[in-house]
Structures are given as C-alpha cells and as structure tokens.
C-alpha cells in the first residue's frame, strides 16, 4: 500500500531519480503558470492578478481530495504520509516574514529557482538573498532556540483540531477554496490588468464550473466513503502483524523490562492500560496510565509518533488482553518498538512480588506466559501505587533472572522529513 519505502525497494539512485522527476514536474508547472515572472507573483498582492491564489489553493485542494480519496479507498496509508509537525508561533512569525519577503522581492524560494533557471536577474538576486537569509538563520537561531522550538503541537491536523471527521474538513476546504476563487474573479474584474488576454467564454458549460463541480463531487465521495476505521486498518496489516502476537515475539518477560529500564541507550515508555483502581493499588514506577480510547483517538497527545527513535513502549495490563488491543492500535498507527509485558502485572508480581503482599493467587496460577485473566489477581494491604517495593525496575535489577530477549530496536525509516 502506498506510500512506499522506496529506498528499500529500489535503492537510493532510483529513489532519488524519482524525486528528481517529481521536482522536474514541479518546476515545469511553476514555469508554465508564469511564476518565473516576479511581476505576476507580486500582482497577487495588488489584487490585479490572482494567479498565485488560484494556483496555490487549486493545487492544495486537488491534492487534498485525491489524497483522502485514495486513503478512503484503502490505496494509501495516510498514517505514513508526512504531515509537517506544527510549531504554531514560529510558523506564524516565519509566515509573516515570508509575506514581507514575498512582496519586497517578488518571489518565493521555489519560484526564484524557476526564475533563476530562466535567467531572470531579479530571480538570481532573490535566490542569493534567500541563501544569505538561510545562512543567517543558521547562525542566529541559537540565540533564541527556545522560541524556535516553542508551541510544538506535533502532527496536528485540522480534523483533529476541529474535532470533525476528515471527510467534512475536505468538503469545507473545497467550498472555502471555491468561494475564494469566486472572490478572486470578482477582484480581478475590478482591479485587473488590462493586458491579460481575454479567455474565450462562449462555451455553454464553462470548464471552470465543470472543474468546481468535479471538486465538490469528489469531496462528497470522500465524505461518503469515509476514512478507514482502526478495525479496518488492523485488518489490512493483520497478515503481517498477527503472527508477531501469535508467535509471542512481542511479549517481553518482566526481567527484560528491568533490563531495559537500566539501559541508557533506550528510552523506556511504560503505558498502563488498567483501571484507575488497580493502578492506584500497584503500578510500575514511571509508568503512565492511559485508556484504550486515548490510544485510539488521542495519539497525537501521547506523542508516540514524534518520540525519539530510541523509544521503546511497553504496554501493561493485568493480563495481556488490553495491552494486546492497544498493541494492535499502535501497530495500525505505525508506532514502532511497541511491546507487551508478558503476563501483565499479574505475572510481574508472580516473578517479583514480595511474599508479604501476594495474597489471592499462589505463585504461577494467576498468570504464566499466556495470561488471559484480566482481573488483578494479587491483593495488597494498602494502595501504594508505585511505592510498593516490587514496583521499581531499578531496584529489582540485582535479582538476575533469565529471559529470552525480544526487543529489537527498529529505527523508523524516515519516509518523511519535511523541509528540514
């Protein structure tokens, strides 16, 4: 399913050739739209020639509709499509600066490259300016590093922000764009350049109207077919992922967790899926309580997709049931290095439990490798949470216990990477 890990499939030379081709088409279209001419670009800001707006928003809505259509049809995994992480305030400030640069200089970086290629001297000067600005940034950002990294919101889409399904956002954006196009036509009529060649408008069914109708229809289709649910997404990857669960390759022994906790190379993230009451009685030190709903719906908030590459996430429940459900959710979202605590807390306490605290179930009966009991099977005198002696992996390290290591750190192949 698209997108593809091209470097793995085709190797670097072929992959980079594809990018070259994409860039080629990009530059060619920009030139064909007339964007090597700074006057045409600047005219946007005097309402005379709205080509910039038409091309930009035209491109955005066209691509957007096609992307979500492909995703809805199961052809494209939006989860693996690069979405620029949002850094709200630096983005806005940078954008304002770019607006200033645009009207002063008459280009943007991409169009200046096209202008340069067409021997426009003003394009050359602009490009040199961009280069100087880029270098200047590299040298000065250190002075306000905090600001540069402020207001991070991670991978954050309009759909998540507004709390409405993508299909509706797509439709709304299409309608907004069409409204802007209509407004643009009106403004050009009032302020427009007289030199623009008149377009033949004698046809019965103007192509622009046809295009607009097509966009709306496609947006409605996108809305209608919807985006894949997590269950459907799991179905798609189950052939690859279910064996990992069945062959017990992602369930790690408590002793391995202890080992991971001591490993400086690994950033260990413990997510506890249990009920609050169980959590309050006993939970591992530094573990964080989350619900399945949060894992399903609140993935950006958990920050797992933008976590450092050496993050290993261990899912914990009393047995393994909830942890396995969460594991499937994270697998469909493309989060790497996710494991399940084998046998859950019940097993943890069988292995590490302090004899004074184990009450209900004698050792070995509550859990074992294929624990199915989701109820908390150990009894404690007091609900001490992580203050229990057996809750701290660091403290348990001296008790050397054999285990079969299963964690293999997989580095996310940088499919995306944005402009950085």
Q: According to CB under 8 A, which residues from 68 to 97 bind another protein?
A: 70, 76, 78, 80-88, 90-97
Q: Which of 8, 146, 189, 199 binds another protein (CB under 8 A)?
A: 199
Which positions from 112 through 141 interact with another protein, judged by CB under 8 A?
112-123, 125-139, 141
Nearest to 273 by CA among 327, 331, 317: 317
Q: How many residues does the chain have?
A: 420
Q: Can residue 63 be called a binding residue for another protein (CB under 8 A)? A: yes
Q: Can residue 157 be called a binding residue for another protein (CB under 8 A)? A: yes
Residue reference for tokens 């396995």: 324
- Minimum gap (Å) between residue 118 Cβ and another protein: 4
Stretch binding another protein (CB under 8 A), from 65-73, 231-239, 322-330, 337-345: 65-73
Q: Can residue 42 be called a binding residue for another protein (CB under 8 A)? A: yes
Q: Can residue 155 be called a binding residue for another protein (CB under 8 A)? A: yes
Q: Can residue 61 be called a binding residue for another protein (CB under 8 A)? A: yes
> Is the Cβ of residue 103 or residue 401 nearer to another protein in the bound state?
103
Burial of 405 (0-12, 13-18, 19+ CB in 10 A): exposed
Q: Can residue 299 be called a binding residue for another protein (CB under 8 A)? A: no
Q: Can residue 367 be called a binding residue for another protein (CB under 8 A)? A: no
Q: How far apart are CA 104 and CA 38, in angstroms?
A: 10
Q: What does the block give as tokens for 71?
A: 């995703």
- Minimum gap (Å) between residue 2 Cβ and another protein: 5
Order of strands, edge to edge, in the sheet holding 287-289?
Answer: 251-252, 338-341, 311-316, 267-272, 287-289
Burial of 380 (0-12, 13-18, 19+ CB in 10 A): middle
> Is the Cβ of residue 222 or residue 284 nearer to another protein in the bound state?
222
> Is the Cβ of residue 37 or residue 342 nearer to another protein in the bound state?
37
> Is the Cβ of residue 225 or residue 285 nearer to another protein in the bound state?
225
Q: How far apart are CA 49 and CA 35, in angstroms?
A: 12
> Is-cis flag, bond preceding 250, omega within 30?
no
């Amino acid at each position: 399913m698209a997108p593809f890990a091209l470097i793995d499939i085709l190797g670097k030379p072929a992959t980079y050739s594809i990018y070259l081709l994409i860039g080629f088409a990009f530059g060619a279209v920009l030139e064909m739209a007339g964007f090597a001419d700074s006057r045409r670009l600047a005219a946007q800001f005097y309402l005379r020639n709205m080509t910039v707006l038409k091309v930009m928003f035209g491109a955005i809505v066209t691509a957007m509709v096609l992307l979500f259509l492909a995703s809805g049809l199961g052809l494209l995994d939006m989860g693996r499509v690069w979405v620029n992480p949002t850094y709200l305030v630096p983005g806005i400030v940078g954008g304002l600066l770019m607006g200033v640069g645009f009207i002063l200089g008459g280009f943007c970086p991409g169009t200046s490259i096209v202008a340069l290629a067409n021997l426009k001297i003003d394009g050359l000067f602009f490009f040199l300016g961009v280069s100087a600005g880029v270098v200047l940034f590299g040298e000065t950002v250190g002075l306000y590093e905090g600001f540069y990294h402020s207001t991070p919101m991670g991978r954050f889409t309009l759909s998540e922000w507004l709390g409405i399904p993508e299909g509706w956002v797509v439709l709304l954006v299409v309608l907004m764009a069409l409204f802007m196009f209509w407004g643009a036509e009106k403004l050009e009529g009032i302020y427009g350049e007289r030199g623009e060649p008149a377009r033949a408008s004698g046809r019965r069914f103007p192509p622009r109207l046809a295009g607009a109708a097509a966009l709306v229809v496609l947006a409605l289709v996108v809305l209608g077919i919807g985006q894949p649910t997590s269950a459907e997404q799991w179905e798609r990857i189950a052939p690859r992922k279910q064996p990992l669960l069945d062959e017990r390759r992602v369930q790690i022994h408590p002793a391995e967790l202890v080992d991971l906790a001591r490993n400086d190379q690994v950033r260990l993230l413990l997510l506890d899926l249990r009920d609050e009451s169980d959590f309050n009685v006993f939970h591992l030190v530094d573990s964080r309580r989350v619900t399945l709903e949060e894992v399903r719906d609140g993935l950006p908030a958990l920050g797992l997709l933008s976590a450092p590459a050496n993050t290993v996430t261990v899912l914990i429940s009393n047995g393994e049931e909830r942890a396995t459900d969460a594991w499937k959710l994270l697998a469909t979202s493309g989060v790497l290095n996710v494991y399940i605590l084998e046998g859950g807390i019940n097993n943890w306490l069988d292995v590490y439990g302090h004899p004074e605290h184990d009450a209900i179930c004698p050792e070995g009966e509550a859990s074992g490798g294929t624990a199915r009991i989701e109820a908390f099977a150990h009894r404690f005198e007091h609900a001490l949470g992580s203050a229990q002696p057996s809750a701290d992996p660091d403290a348990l390290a001296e008790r050397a216990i054999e285990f079969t290591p299963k964690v293999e750190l997989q580095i996310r192949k940088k499919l995306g990477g944005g402009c950085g």
